[in-house]
Amino acid sequence: MRSIASIAALFSTGSIGCQPVGNAKDGATFVVCAAEIDEMTVDVGTALISSGGAFAAVFPSGAPVSASYAIAEKAAKDSRAGLWAGRFVHPVSLLLGEQ
């Protein structure tokens, strides 16, 4: 999924479901969401990250929360998709004080 239209399709299907997968120390709930598109189940996080529209979450140590999301982010970065088409300081670097 490489276009804004394909990302928009995720949210226009009307068949998005989310499941809780864990909790943060502050009580926030982590969820994984999926959409049905053309009889295929698409992970919304992977679609957003691989298109360059979002970043993979990391633990305070900097380790990825999800290996598959980290791989999707690397693929987006390598192909200069979405946000990766420009130059910027990665938000994780800012959060971890590595600027």
Separation CA 83–CA 35 (nearest Å): 22
Q: Which domain holds residue 82?
A: 4-95
In tens, the pLDDT along 50-81 reads 989 899 988 888 888 899 999 999 999 999 99
DSSP letter string over 5-67?
HHHHHHHHSS-EEEEEEEE-TTSPEEEEEEEEETTEEEEHHHHHHHTTSS---B-TTS-BS-H
In tens, the pLDDT along 1-47 reads 455 676 776 677 667 889 998 887 888 888 889 988 778 888 989 98
Q: How many domains does the chain have?
A: 1
